[in-house]
Structure 1
């Protein structure tokens, strides 16, 4: 299963999620940002290859659908509601990501 994690600048939240799930058997993961200044910018190819897209905030879902309307058809997109208040691999951020993402993955599998 291919997972894509999306935040604004691809600096803290989505790279943390990618790091958490990187070495789990059966999962292929990547991360990107919606902003032009993102460390890794979201592309149509990333969306096309994703089975599930996890976005950190509602605004990321809106931007992704606006910027890639054709690619977003029939895609599963899940809003995690995680604010941009944490650093990379922050303990609280890791716990929130694991709780939320694990819950969604259990429902999907």
Structure 2
């Protein structure tokens, strides 16, 4: 059931992910409804926090607006250990390039 919920939100392609890669980003309340809403993408821990939050709470439009394809692929080996197994399974099932990146040596 959770996997279906996350699968409905997926972009059709990682190429759709055109979010910012630098600077300050403020997430809308429907994504960051509790806690931190503003993230500095130039700070690695904040960037990882934004990606975790958007993957867990964002809708399709949020994923496209706030995630960047290249950054997601680069972060994936670490990010995949911080997100739920349901989110990880859905994203890796839909986008094999994430699995390849996760299994490649850094």
TM-score by length of 2: 0.36
Which gives a bigger RCO, structure 1 or 2 (Cα 8 Å, sep 6+)?
Answer: 2
- Quick check: which one's helix share is greater? 2
Q: TM-score, normalised by structure 1?
A: 0.36
